[in-house]
Amino acid sequence: AEQALQVAIDGPASAGKSTVAKLVAKRFGYIYVDTGAMYRAVTYWAMTHQVALTDEAAVAELMQTLTISFKPGEPDQLVFANGEDITAAIRQPDVTNNVSTIAALSKVRTILTAQQRQIAAAGGVVMDGRDIGSTVLPQAEVKIFLVASAAERAKRRYAENITKGINTPLAQLQAEIELRDHKDSTRKVSPLTQAADAVLVDTTPMSINEVVDTIANIIKKQSSAI
């Protein structure tokens, strides 16, 4: 029988992780878990509950009242906070620009990491984020580190924003992406880093389908090797 593997996809902002992770999951009949959405949900929840984003104890306490859940949806998976649909709200620029602050809090990471491990325990999962291969699922059978140049990533996010009615200028988007990458890569707890056994995939010149095929081939090779 086919093995139900754990597939970890990490990389910097807007490299295409969620887009390709979702398609790869569909191809293998796996579930897709967007861990960035979980950090965004906590950020949104703190911002709408007047909790200071740097107050670690207060944010951790607030999280005890927050249940994050997902439902399949097109084009985006739906994200809920205590049953409230926050799918669009967590992609707004104010959440995007504050999420790295929340993601640097060790207590927040401990709570979300435990939830993520529980979801992935049975296998048959594609999980994307920053620390999945390095920290959340160090035993994952497949680890991908997805990158693209910052200019290309800004262009992709710009095109995507237009369809959502968000009009941030291209140069500003690139600056924001680079700042978030810097914060995510230099934080003390579980920084963005390529796990030693992760496969580097540079998607700068690649179409979405090419990236999905590349990852699918890595998964097939790995599952026949087990």
- Residues annotated within the binding site are 11-19
Q: Is 133 one of the binding residues for ligand CDP (CB under 6 A)?
A: no
Q: Is 78 one of the binding residues for ligand CDP (CB under 6 A)?
A: no
Q: Is 129 one of the binding residues for ligand CDP (CB under 6 A)?
A: yes
Tell me which of 25, 42, 46, 99 binds ligand CDP, using CB under 6 A.
Answer: 99
Q: Is 32 one of the binding residues for ligand CDP (CB under 6 A)?
A: no
Q: Is 184 one of the binding residues for ligand CDP (CB under 6 A)?
A: yes
Helix H, strand E, coil C: the string for the chain is CCCCCEEEEECCCCCCHHHHHHHHHHHHCCEEEEHHHHHHHHHHHHHHCCCCCCCHHHHHHHHCCCCEEEECCCCCCEEEECCEECCCHHHCHHHHHHHHHHHCCHHHHHHHHHHHHHHHCCCCEEEEECCHHHHHCCCCCEEEEEECCHHHHHHHHHHHHHHCCCCCCHHHHHHHHHHHHHHHHHCCCCCCCCCCCCEEEECCCCCHHHHHHHHHHHHHHHHHHC
Binders in 39-58 for ligand CDP, by CB under 6 A? 39-40
Tell me which of 14, 77, 134, 174 binds ligand CDP, using CB under 6 A.
Answer: 14
Q: Which of these ranges, 31-39, 164-172, 193-201, 218-226, lies near ligand CDP under the rule CB under 6 A?
A: 31-39
Q: Is 76 one of the binding residues for ligand CDP (CB under 6 A)?
A: no
